[in-house]
Amino acid sequence: MNMRTPLKNARRLGSAKEGADHFWMQRVTAVANLFLGLYLVWLVASLAGADYATVKEALGGPVNAILLLLLIVSATMHMRLGMQVIVEDYVTGEGAKIVCLLANNFFAILVAAASVWAILKLSFGS
Partner 1 sequence: MSEARSSSGAVNRPLSPHLQIYRPLINMVMSILHRITGAALYFGSLLLAWWLTAAAVGPQYFAFVNGIFSSLPGKIVLFGFTWALLHHMMGGIRHFIWDTCHGLDIASVKFLSMISGVVSVAATVAIWTAVYLAR
CB of residue 2 to partner 1, shortest distance in Å: 34
Nearer to partner 1, 52 or 94 (CB): 52
Query: CA angle, corner 114, sides to 113 and 117, nearest 5?
Result: 80
Of the candidates 67, 91, 84, the residue with the CA atom closest to the CA atom of residue 26: 84
Binding site for partner 1 (CB under 8 A): 27, 30-31, 33-34, 37-38, 40-41, 45, 48-49, 52, 55-56, 59, 68, 75-76, 79, 82-83, 86, 107, 111, 114-115, 117-119, 121-122, 125
CB of residue 63 to partner 1, shortest distance in Å: 16
Nearer to partner 1, 10 or 23 (CB): 23
Nearer to partner 1, 8 or 121 (CB): 121
CB of residue 87 to partner 1, shortest distance in Å: 11
CB of residue 26 to partner 1, shortest distance in Å: 9
For residue 40, give the 3-state DSSP assignment: helix
Half-sphere exposure of 61 (CA within 13 A, CB side): 9
How many angstroms separate the CA atoms of 53 and 122, rounded? 11
How many angstroms separate the CA atoms of 32 and 29, rounded? 5
